[in-house]
Structures are given as C-alpha cells and as structure tokens.
Structure 1
Amino acid sequence: MITIKKHSGIYTLETTQEINIPIREAWSFFSSPNNLEKITPSEMGFKITSEVDKKAYAGQIITYKVGILPGIKSNWVTEITHVENESFFIDEQRFGPYKMWHHEHWFYSQTNGKTLMKDKISYKIPLGFLGHLAQTLFIKKQLITIFEHRFKTLETYFDEK
C-alpha cells in the first residue's frame, strides 16, 4: 500500500511491505547501498557513482546518477544520517532534484519469520507552483511506479530464496 499526503508544502509518501525473509537477511540486503540498483526500475538509469564498500553507516555519502525525466539525468547526493542495526536507517538528500528529501527505512521482525518494512519519505519539490504542478502531472506517478516496481521485484527476489 502506498499513500502520499501533502502538508505545509511537503509531501509524505508511506509504504509497507512484508517480505519473506527474517529481519537479519532483510537488514543485510537493504543496508547495502549496492542493492538499490537491483530494486529500481531500469528505465531510470540509476547508477551509484561513488565507491560504496561498506554497509550503511551514519555519515556515509553516496552519489548517484538517476533519470528524472526521459532523456534527463540528474546527479543525486545522499547522506545516511542515522542507523540502528536491524531497526532503521535514514538517508537525506544533500544535492539533487528535490528541494528536500528525507527517507526513513524501518524494519520489524514478524512472528512468522518474515520482515515488515515501512518507508516514509518526506520531500519538497522546488519551483513553487510549477513544482506542485509537476507533482500532480508526473512526480507522484513516478514515485508510485518506483515503489510498485520495488514491491514486485522484492516479492519475486525473496520468494526464490
């Protein structure tokens, strides 16, 4: 389930997904920045451009190239600001296509041996009225498409394990 709400000029996207692996495996997969490309739609041309040789840690800077519109790529720089092992991590945009991007990744161990993941992204779009128009016309749809792709990819990927 994916919801997007607007408040005080900021949008908040929230999504949840139960995946078919224990929390230790889920944490190992999602705390490795190199796995992000595996769950991002290929048409976005997502590519990590910095050297990433460690699991997520507070203060880690990661740089990317990502397609924000057909034929238009953007540099994106994020910082992992908080990490609590097997519980959550937060990444924040330092430079990129959004005026603000704050992404919380939460992990909850389930009694059935699975993991419940919750994402909460608070973001602000630049360009005032034009940015809000872009949100209505394509940004919202693009974000929903990304998370729907991720949902399907993870269902397939972890059901094979």
Structure 2
Amino acid sequence: MKLNITKQSGIYTLTSEQILPISLDKAWDFFSKPTNLDKITPEEMGFTITNNPPNETYLGQIITYEIGILPMIKANWITEITHLVHKKYFVDEQRFGPYAMWHHEHHFEKVGEDKVKMTDIVNYKLPLGLLGDLFGGAIVKNKVQSIFQGRFSILDKLFPS
C-alpha cells in the first residue's frame, strides 16, 4: 500500500497504489461496476448512489451521489466517466459537487498470475481559492487520505491474500 498527497498551484494530487490478489478480469469486473463504489467507501462518509447506474461503466456515464461532507451536512455530487480503456483505466470527473475540480483516474495493471496493481490518481481543487485552502485545505486533505486508507482496509477484507 502506497499513499501520498501533494499540492502544487492550488491543486492537490493523491496517488495511491494497492496490489490485490485477484486477476485483472476480476478487478475490472468489480471496479468498473458503479454500484460497488458504495462497498469500498468508508461507512462514515454517508455515501449513497442516488441514480440507478447500469452494472457496467461506459464512456459518458453520469453517476449521482449524496455524500457527507460535515457531520449532519450532505452534498450532492455528480460525476461523468470521461475516459475509458477496457481493463486498463477509466476516469471520473466532477460535473457538480463539493470541489472546484475533481479528476479521478483508476488504473489497473496485471503484475502477476493472479495479482493486479490498482493505482488511483486524484487531482482536486477546493472551492473559494486561497480561502478554501486556508480554512479547509488540511481538513479536506486528511479526509481524502482517510477515505483511501479506509478503502485499503476494505479491499484487504474483500480480497484477502
């Protein structure tokens, strides 16, 4: 498990890598199914898909969510699948939601007979420019990092070695 967040020119970049003991086919089947997103999002996020996406991700797909951003405060979030290469990667980008920008790349690479390296690259920018960074930068950075650390644990339980 590798996890790192950096910031440059007001844009935060999270990079995470995790090796899973599953085939590339199984990884793609699981992660490209939008309804599995709620299974790998930590429960404390209050994450709910609010539309009814089909079982397979496709280019141009819109997915709508409700997510807890603060205790007892929920936000609507709409993302679009903007890039997709079957069994290699897909990208979701925020169209409406809590961030000024959200661009999330999901990469999959076979690294053994039955192992896959999953790499997430998330570029995000907070609303309100410098004020957003000053008042929320550290909090949001810690929250995003916590979500991905939680995801590591959940995936280790779903796909044990």
TM-score range, shorter chain: over 0.9
Task: List per-residue Cα deviations over 1:96-147 (Å, max 9, x = no partner).
Answer: 00000000000000124200000000111011222112011x1011111100
Report the Cα distance in structure 1 between the residues aligned to 2:103 and 2:123, rounded to whole angstroms: 5
Gaps spanning 5+ residues in structure 1: where? none
Return 16-25 or 122-131, whichever deviates more. Answer: 122-131
Are 2:72 and 1:68 aligned?
A: no
Q: Give secondary structure in 1 for the equivalent of 2:112.
A: coil
Per the alignment, residue 94 of structure 2 pairs with 93
Tell me the CA shift for residue 51 of structure 1.
1.1
2:115 is aligned to: 114
Alignment correspondent of 1:40:
41
Contact 2:35/2:55 (8 A) holds in 1: no
Partner residue, 2:26: 25
SS at match of 2:59: coil
Deviation of 1:43 after TM superposition, in Å, equals 1.3
TM-score normalized with structure 2 length:
0.96
What does residue 135 of structure 1 align with? 137
The aligned counterpart of 2:8 is: 7
1:77 aligned partner: 78
Q: Which amino acid aligns with 2:137?
A: Q
Residue 71 of structure 1 and its aligned partner are, at CA, apart by 1.0
TM-score (norm 1): 0.96
Once residues 58 and 24 of structure 1 are traced to their aligned partners in structure 2, the CA distance between those partners, rounded to angstroms, is 19
Q: Which amino acid aligns with 1:64?
A: Y
- Letter of the structure 2 residue corresponding to residue 54 of structure 1: N
Match of 1:147? 148
Unmatched tracts of structure 2, length 5 or more: none
Distance 1:44 1:106 in 2: 23
Q: Distance in 2 between matches of 1:24 and 1:112?
A: 11
Q: Secondary structure at the match of 1:115?
A: strand
Distance in 1 (CA, whole Å) between partners of 2:73 and 2:106 is: 27
**What is the aligned-residue identity percentage?**
52
* CA distance in structure 2 between the aligned counterparts of 1:135 and 1:9, rounded to whole angstroms: 10
Question: 1:9 deviation in Å?
Answer: 1.4
RMSD of Structure 2 on Structure 1 (CA):
1.0
Instruction: Show CA shifts across 1:32-52 (max 9, x none).
Output: 010000011111110000111
Q: Give yes or no for the alignment of 1:52 onto 2:53.
A: yes
SS of the counterpart of 2:157?
Answer: helix
